[in-house]
Chains A and B, each alone.
Chain A
Amino acid sequence: MTQPVDLEALAALKDIMEDEFTALVQTYLADAQARVTLLHELLSKQDLDEIRKNAHSLKGSSSNLGASLLTDLCFQVEQQSKDNQLEGLNTLLSQIDEEFVLVKEALENC
């Protein structure tokens, strides 16, 4: 099974951020947590445009942290909301919830 975060990408990131790496991880986790919560709220309002934008942002930041599966899930949400496909979004968001827990665990332990 794929790792929740790509360790090689993370190593490169550590090299770039140096002392600020921990702060970066905390910033990401806080931002990502907020967006995941927001996605659920937006789904209940069926605001597809905002769902698309937030999924896009979460996709970008997650890719930068090497969370490839989470990135991929965000991409699917982005595509579906763009195509006005409400169906299946609920399932995707649940998968994001689960994956985010794993990513969070991996990042906090690295």
Chain B
Amino acid sequence: MAEQGVLKVLIADDTDSDRLILESIVKREGHSVVCARDGLEAVELFKSSAPDIVLLDALMPRLDGLGAAKQIKELAGDELVPVIFLTSLTDTDSLVKCLEAGGDDFLSKPYNRFIIQAKIKAFKRMREMHVTLHRQRDEIVLHNEHLLQEQTVAKQVFDNIAHSGCLDAANVKYLLSPLAVFNGDVLVAGIRPSGSMMVLLGDFTGHGLPAAIGAMPLATSFYGMVQKGFSLVDVLREINQKLKSILPIGVFCCACIVDMDFVKRRIKVWNGGLPDCYLYREKTGEIETVRSTHLPLGVSDDKDFRDDCVYLEMDLGDRFFMWSDGIVESRNHEGGMYGEQRLQRVFERNDASAQLFDEIIEDVHSYSGEACRDDDLSLLELKMVEPHQVLASADALSGHVSTGLMEWVLDFKIKPSTFRLFDPLPLLLNILVEVPGLRRHSGSLYTILAELYSNALEHGVLGLSSEWKETPEGFARYYAERNKRLGELEDGFVSFHLSHNTMDDGGSLLIRVGDSGEGFSHADKLNNEHKTDGYCGRGIPLIRTLCESLRYIDSGSQVEAIFSWSNDE
């Protein structure tokens, strides 16, 4: 449509007078007209002048309207070019033939000007809608291609992060669609340095990229921490906190995480929002279920997060099953749901536990038939085996297993320019939590370090008296003086000596803090354990409750604390 609203109309009629009348009517509507006397001329004219609407007489010499319509419709292809037959044909057969040839409408003789105008208007609108529709369709196609491309990239990134972990270990069977991450399903598994296997099956709310986006930080945290030896609870808390801060309200992750200890032959389970997990007893064929007793990940703040787990003893050959709701909620043609009872029946019918996994999938498939979409089915089986059966495959797969910091010593000394501007505690704490066993004690460690550091700086280096802090007025004076002396300070230091050793079932951290001050009569302070109500001296008794031991060395300008931790949570 070259000009706004002006159509080019092709009129083909072998009767000159009829053509003249139609031409006048169409022109009076403001449209331009091209004329043909027969079907062949009409087709040629259609090719050369590309009209918007075609008016064809049904009976014409050389090529009739039917033949012309067929060719024109073929030439028009995807474009909507309305073909209106001009006819006084009245029998149904002829009209049907016109429609079959591609005709969109009829105009009968004698011509009625108003009907013609109305029809042209209607087809013009239809054409405009068609153009809009096609433009939008093309846009949608483009958007869809774009989306698929983005998903491919996102999936690549995710696969790089999540890789296969130890899902290929001999005791693991799993079913997970390659595009599961876009259904919100995520499955990660890793071997801890201790040799236990940690597995997390998660199901994010929603679909597509919003559902996939949370899987990235989840997988990163999981693999980063598991290989360093962090405990299930540490990993869980970290992921929960991360998801809570990243995900918008309403987006969360139903998850079940397990830590399978092949030496102690037990499994530790935390289920937050996933369907009941099944523990299948090889000897008795009985099932024990682990119900979800927690909120999904990414819902609660860390302080409200509940990390209590269920421990289950497992014999060799016992199998632990986890699934997302895709299995239970699989639908058949009638819209019915697979449901938990059918699932339980699969277990009851089974007589060879090695087949269980396949039987479950088969049963779901046969229930939902053609309607089944494997995209939504995520299923995992973990079998209790001898430790060496897992580790052999895990070592080969996981490449390097970093165990985090184990035995080490650190000396760190800070000088006046640093006192004024820099808080060294986060830095030191960052190093300490690289020790897997110390991470969950970061709160206590912070308290110990903070107290010892401020004692060393304020009483040791700056020579402030803690007795000032016994009254509120003195307290204010104390801090005013602290800032003044800090500003004027030219010499002095605080030194940290940290030394970590591992033991059978844990480790111990030695913290020695020294300062350039003159020391003090520490015997008084240490003996004064009950003086906790005043403003001063409250630090030492608190530290003593947190540490295994605390002692002052030399004149009191050095203090040594020993913090012990054990693997048994």
Contacts and interface: CB of A to CB of B under 8 A. Distances in A.
The answer on A and B forming one complex is yes
A66 B14 contact: no
B16 A64 contact: no
A61 B88 CA distance: 10
Contacts of B87: 60
Contacts of A56: 59, 88-89
Interface stretch (A15-23, A89-97, A98-106): A15-23
A11 interface: no
Nearest to B14: A57
A53 interface: yes
B28 interface: yes
Contacts of B14: 57
Nearest to B25: A16
Contact of A63 (B20, B57, B88): B88
A47 interface: no
B20 A57 contact: no
A65 to B, nearest CB: 7
Interface in B1-55: 14-18, 20-21, 24-25, 28
Interface in B343-400: none
Contacts of A12: 113
Contact of A17 (B20, B88, B110): B20
A75 to B, nearest CB: 8
A64 B59 contact: no
Contacts, number: 56
A59 B57 CA distance: 13
B111 interface: yes
B116 to A, nearest CB: 10
A10 to B, nearest CB: 11
A31 B17 contact: yes
Interface string A41-76: 000000000000100110111011110000000000
A27 B17 contact: yes
What range describes how many residues of B lie at the interface? 10 to 19
A63 B24 contact: no
A33 to B, nearest CB: 12
Contacts of A9: 110
A24 interface: yes
A65 B17 contact: yes
B15 A60 contact: yes
Contact of B24 (A16, A61, A66): A16
A51 to B, nearest CB: 13
Nearest to A12: B113
B109 A60 contact: yes
A20 B113 contact: no
Contacts of B111: 64
A64 B20 CA distance: 11
A36 interface: no
A60 to B, nearest CB: 4
A16 B14 CA distance: 20
A59 B17 contact: no
A33 B25 CA distance: 25
A16 B113 contact: yes
A16 B28 contact: yes
Q: Give the residue among B18, B25, B87, B113 with the most A Cβ atoms within 10 A.
A: B18
Given A16-B24, A16-B28, A56-B88, A61 B17 contact: yes
Given A16-B25, A53-B59, 17 more contacts: A16-B21, A17-B21, A23-B20, A24-B20, A24-B21, A27-B16, A27-B17, A31-B15, A57-B14, A59-B88, A60-B57, A61-B18, A63-B109, A64-B21, A64-B110, A64-B111, A65-B17
15 contacts: A16-B28, A18-B24, A27-B16, A28-B17, A56-B59, A56-B88, A57-B14, A59-B109, A60-B18, A60-B57, A60-B88, A60-B109, A63-B110, A64-B17, A64-B18
Interface of A: 9, 12-13, 16-18, 20, 23-24, 27-28, 31, 53, 56-57, 59-61, 63-66
Interface of B: 14-18, 20-21, 24-25, 28, 57, 59, 87-89, 109-111, 113
